[in-house]
Structure 1
């Protein structure tokens, strides 16, 4: 396990809130893109007994990818919200915590990774 820098609980809380907001914005964007892809899929001609067209396969694959990404972001947000609730209950906001490099990446502290 690689150890990263220490951060105060307040800094970690702020970063978790920011990460949740960024994930929600990305999910909204993905939702819009999914709506457009679903409209395109519904407008593509489908003929029984004929193999699907190349574009139809591409659209279905894009829908699957974007849906999987949305599920991943939603799961990440749920985990972050639980951690944020735990952190908000702690009265000592100036307490320093040493984070692993994985924690830094997961929380979006990209500037602290050298």
Structure 2
């Protein structure tokens, strides 16, 4: 093989590789544009998902069953919920000697033959 033939062959390889590189660069550019479009679409869809009747003009009926969590302005104190240690609760005190005892008998018991007995003690019937 002569020098001219080798140079010709190398020039063909260089031209072939250059066209391959150009083709790959075009593919990369097309994919980069497609990725940018897809990212923009994803961002728009995420914004649509985050919209509800409170932050858009959508009606409340379009919110579905999922309600947004209420945002409290209170800062957490670190204490447990409910009565704290040392707090004396209030309750209804039991009276050991009441002034008056009233028995409430159901109206259905008035026909019962044991009504007189029940008025004095608990109903057995």
Task: Provide TM-score, normalisation by structure 1.
Answer: 0.34
Which structure carries more relative contact order (alpha carbon 8 Å, separation 6+)? Answer: 1
- The structure with the largest alpha-carbon Rg is 2
> Which structure shows the bigger proportion of residues in helix conformation?
1
